[in-house]
C-alpha cells in the first residue's frame, strides 16, 4: 500500500482576484485508490480538483501558486503540454454531456483527435471502454445511434467510457452522480470501485454516503483549507478533527 503517490501538491494557493479560494493545500494521491473530496459548497474542493488538469487556466484574474506534480513533473511548468496532461488526467463532470454524435463516435473522439484511424483499434477501444464503464451490454446493439438518446445514467457512463478510451492514469470526477437517480449512482460507484485497480480516481462529492461507500481515502475541505485527509473507514468512524466530525454528523454545512 505504500506505493509512491502519483499526484503530489504542496502549498497550493488559488486566488480569484483578491479572494483566496485555496489557502495552502498539501495533498497527495495514491494509485489504485479512490479519494473522495468532500466539504460544504464554497470550501474549494471543486476548485482544487480542476487544478489537477488545469481546467482553471482560462478563468480571468486567477492566480495560482504552489507546486502540483504528476509523476513528479510540475504540471504548471511553462513547457507542460496541456493536451498531454489532460490525456493523462481525464475529467468527468456533474452533467453528462455526450457530444451530439453516435455512442461509438463519442467514445473514440479522443482517439481520433490523436490521429488513430485503424478501424480495428477503434472498435476494440469502444468495446473495452464501454465494458470498463459498465455500459456495454446496454449499448452494444445501438453503438451507431445517438448518445443523446440514452438515459442520464447511461450518458454519464458513456462519458466515462470516453475518458477511459484515451487511457488516462488519473480520473477526476466532479459530482459525477448528483444528477442521477440512486440506481444509476450505485452502478457508477460500483464501476469506479471496479476501475480503481487500473486508475487513480479523485472524486468530488456532496453525497457523504457515496464517499463512505466508495472511497478509500476521504479529504475534507473547509473554507479553502484541507482540514483532514484520512482513510475513509477512519474518517467515518473516528475522524481526527472536530470539524470533520461536526460536518459528517450534520452539525453544520
Partner 1 sequence: MREIFSQELNDLHVCFSEMGMLVNQAVYNSVKAFVNHDRELALKVIRNDVVINECEVDIERRSFEIIALQQPVTRDLRMIVTIMKASSDLERMGDHAVSIAKSTIRVKGNRRVPEIEAAIATMAEIVKKMVEAVLDAYVKRDDRRARKIAQHDQQVNEAFQRIYERCITEMQQNPDTVIGSTDYLLVSTYLERVGDYVTNICEWIVYLKTNKLIELNVNNKETL
| Site of interaction with partner 1 (CB under 8 A) | 186, 189-190, 193, 209, 212-214, 232-233, 236-237
Helices 182-195, 119-132: axis angle to 10 degrees equals 120
Question: Between residues 106 and 232, which has the closer beta carbon with respect to partner 1?
Answer: 232
CB atoms within 10 A of CB 200: 23
DSSP codes, 116-144 = ---HHHHHHHHHHHHHHTT-HHHHTT-TT
Question: Between residues 193 and 240, which has the closer beta carbon with respect to partner 1?
Answer: 193
Least Å from the CB of residue 186 to partner 1: 5
Question: Between residues 62 and 193, which has the closer beta carbon with respect to partner 1?
Answer: 193
Candidates 113, 58, 108, 54; CA nearest to 81 is 54
Q: Are strands 7-16 and 19-29 parallel, antiparallel or unpaired?
A: antiparallel
Question: The C-alpha cell of 80 is what?
Answer: 507542460
Q: Are strands 200-204 and 62-70 parallel, antiparallel or unpaired?
A: unpaired
Question: Between residues 126 and 212, which has the closer beta carbon with respect to partner 1?
Answer: 212
Least Å from the CB of residue 190 to partner 1: 5
Least Å from the CB of residue 171 to partner 1: 18
Least Å from the CB of residue 123 to partner 1: 29
Least Å from the CB of residue 115 to partner 1: 38
Candidates 234, 251, 230, 245; CA nearest to 36 is 230
Question: Between residues 95 and 237, which has the closer beta carbon with respect to partner 1?
Answer: 237
Identify any residues that bridge with 222 across adjacent strands, giving them in sequence order. Answer: 225
Amino acid at each position: 500500500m505504500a506505493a509512491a503517490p502519483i499526484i503530489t501538491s504542496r502549498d497550493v494557493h488559488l486566488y480569484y482576484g483578491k479572494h483566496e479560494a485555496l489557502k495552502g493545500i498539501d495533498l497527495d494521491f495514491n494509485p489504485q485508490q479512490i479519494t473522495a473530496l468532500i466539504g460544504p459548497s464554497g470550501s474549494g474542493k471543486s476548485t482544487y480538483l480542476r487544478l489537477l488538469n488545469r481546467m482553471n487556466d482560462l478563468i480571468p484574474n486567477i492566480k495560482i501558486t504552489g507546486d502540483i506534480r504528476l509523476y513528479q513533473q510540475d504540471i504548471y511548468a511553462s513547457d507542460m503540454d496541456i493536451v498531454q496532461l489532460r490525456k493523462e488526467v481525464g475529467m468527468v463532470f456533474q452533467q453528462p454531456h455526450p457530444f451530439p454524435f453516435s455512442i461509438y463516435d463519442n467514445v473514440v473522439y479522443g482517439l481520433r483527435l490523436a490521429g488513430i484511424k485503424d478501424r480495428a483499434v477503434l472498435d476494440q477501444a469502444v468495446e473495452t471502454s464501454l465494458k470498463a464503464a459498465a455500459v456495454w451490454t446496454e449499448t452494444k446493439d445501438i453503438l451507431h445511434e445517438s448518445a443523446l438518446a440514452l438515459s442520464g445514467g447511461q450518458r454519464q457512463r458513456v462519458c466515462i467510457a470516453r475518458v477511459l478510451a484515451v487511457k488516462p492514469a488519473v480520473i477526476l470526477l466532479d459530482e459525477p452522480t448528483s444528477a442521477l437517480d440512486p440506481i444509476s449512482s450505485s452502478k457508477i460507484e460500483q464501476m469506479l470501485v471496479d476501475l480503481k485497480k487500473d486508475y487513480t480516481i479523485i472524486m468530488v462529492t456532496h453525497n457523504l454516503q457515496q464517499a463512505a461507500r466508495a472511497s478509500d481515502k476521504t479529504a475534507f475541505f473547509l473554507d479553502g483549507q484541507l482540514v483532514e485527509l484520512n482513510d475513509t473507514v477512519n474518517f467515518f468512524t473516528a475522524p481526527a478533527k472536530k470539524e470533520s466530525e461536526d460536518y459528517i454528523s450534520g452539525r453544520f454545512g
